[in-house]
Structure 1
Amino acid sequence: MAGPEATPVRDAATVVLVRQGGAEPALLMGQRGAAAAFMPDKYVFPGGALDDADWQVPLAVPPDPLCAARLEADGRPGLAAALAAGAVRELWEETGLILGRPGRWPVAPPAGWQSFAATGHLPDAGALRFVFRAITPPGRTRRFDARFFLADAAAIAGDPEDFGRASDELGHLHWVPMSQARRLNLPFITEVVLGEVAALLEAAGDGDAGIPFFDNSGPVPAFRRIR
């Protein structure tokens, strides 16, 4: 029987949705169930593994060219659009929020996208900013090559407080003030991403040091930056 080290690494996308305008920025987070196979009871950002259908989805706006180049730095054409689509789909499934623009689908929506398409929107990849990448270390029951996207809640179509169409995958969905987020039961990588997002929001676009990447793809863990 194959050991944990043989666990396949799946592409994944996560959305760090930030809400500005209050006393401090707030982030949308939810709690995974106690019986979840991956990170039970932890508070996380909406996200999950890519589906095959995510590669087929038409976008209202394509990914930012620099973000796309960094997402495809490993030489996989089309990955940027697929990851952006997957991020939008996961946000929709887990929160019921629409990161999209009104428009008609030029093709029949693929499996997993019918409910989103029924809202009359196409996914908006232009609202997503690639900010972090991490590969789950060996030895875990599930492993992901996760790309984290930052998005402003102002890009949401509809009420950002309306979670009525969310699935039951995440509980206790709420907007968490930045200063309070670290008090929650968080996975290690979520804590790291929180620090990176806080620094990005404080810097307000000053400079570009590349994308932090926790690379556990090989036998020796490495931290590097995607330029």
Structure 2
Amino acid sequence: MSIDKSALRDAATLVVLRRDLPDGPAVLMGMRGAGAAFMPSKYVFPGGARDAGDSNIALAAPLPETCAKRLAQETEADLGPALAVTAIRELWEETGLILGTPGTWQGDIPTDWAGFAATGHRPSAAGLRFFFRAITPPGRPRRFDARFFLVEASELASDPDDFSRACDELSHLHWVSLPQARALNLPFITEVVLAEVEAQLTSGPPATIPFFDNRGPRATFARLG
């Protein structure tokens, strides 16, 4: 049976914020390949679609309560824990960075988590903060219901400059200051997310979460409280 690749898929994106660099606050970004079906040659944050197996991965620490409640809004199922797992898995696969706590896995380890588990860590969502949601408009070759998480680089359990274990999905992985990021070749929604990150650095976490909703025939904007 063929798969409709344009069907809406749940996804998670992780914005890792670093504050110890001389040029000021920076985020981790990489460039997608020129032949990619979705956002070719664009600079993006680590992230990707939720895998069915993500629901079966136990977190060493759960999402903060407020984040979990916001993730459950405007959603048919409670996908919060699975989306947190997706974000951590994609960060590991695309950058080789570890967001987790020391611990031993129980039972069989899924193939796509074998490398992560071999580092002696289990995934932890304690440092994640859900802060943005956007659904890809109709008519695109790939469509995602993407939840964006923010995490401080200080939460990483690995060297933030060591990308040696990354896959080749993203090239030119580097920490880029927020002003410099604006000069990169960015998707529109990434520009919007960067603006939200900059605003939160000034005013702190918002009382509600921006939600660009393209599920229906007309685009709408809402806020998740």
Work out whether the TM-score is over 0.5: yes
Partner of 1:157: 157
Is the CA contact (8 Å cut-off) linking 1:53 and 1:111 kept in structure 2?
no
Shift of 1:117: 1.2
Whole-angstrom CA distance in 1 between matches of 2:212 and 2:193: 11
Aligned pair 1:221/2:219, yes or no?
yes
Is the CA contact (8 Å cut-off) linking 1:13 and 1:84 kept in structure 2?
yes
SS in 2 for 1:18: strand
Amino acid at match of 1:131: F
Whole-angstrom CA distance in 1 between matches of 2:76 and 2:83: 11
SS in 2 for 1:138: coil
Partner of 1:120: 120
Shift of 1:65: 0.8
Amino acid at match of 1:223: F
Amino acid at match of 1:193: V
1:58-207 to 2 correspondence within 5 Å? 58-205=58-205
Amino acid at match of 1:225: R
Whole-angstrom CA distance in 1 between matches of 2:104 and 2:75: 31
Shift of 1:77: 4.6
SS in 2 for 1:150: strand
Partner of 1:51: 51
Partner of 1:13: 12
Is the CA contact (8 Å cut-off) linking 1:28 and 1:173 kept in structure 2?
yes
Is the CA contact (8 Å cut-off) linking 1:58 and 1:105 kept in structure 2?
no
Whole-angstrom CA distance in 2 between matches of 1:211 and 1:149: 11
Amino acid at match of 2:182: R
Q: Cα deviation per residue 1:45-83 (whole Å; 9 max; x = unaligned)?
A: 000001111100011110011111111113545410000
Whole-angstrom CA distance in 1 between matches of 2:55 and 2:186: 30
Whole-angstrom CA distance in 2 between matches of 1:45 and 1:28: 6
TM-score, length-scaled by structure 1: 0.94
Moved more, 68-77 or 32-41: 68-77
Shift of 1:7: 2.7
Amino acid at match of 2:16: L
Percent identity, aligned pairs only, is 60
Whole-angstrom CA distance in 2 between matches of 1:176 and 1:223: 29
Whole-angstrom CA distance in 2 between matches of 1:223 and 1:74: 13
Amino acid at match of 1:172: H
Amino acid at match of 1:214: F
Is the CA contact (8 Å cut-off) linking 1:55 and 1:78 kept in structure 2?
no
Shift of 1:92: 0.2
Moved more, 35-44 or 109-118: 109-118
RMSD over aligned Cα atoms: 1.4
Shift of 1:109: 2.0
Shift of 1:110: 2.2
Whole-angstrom CA distance in 2 between matches of 1:32 and 1:148: 18
SS in 1 for 2:112: coil
Is the CA contact (8 Å cut-off) linking 1:12 and 1:47 kept in structure 2?
yes
Amino acid at match of 1:224: A
Q: Cα deviation per residue 1:156-201 (whole Å; 9 max; x = unaligned)?
A: 1121000000000000000001111000000000000000011111
Amino acid at match of 2:8: V
Whole-angstrom CA distance in 1 between matches of 2:76 and 2:66: 15
Shift of 1:148: 0.4
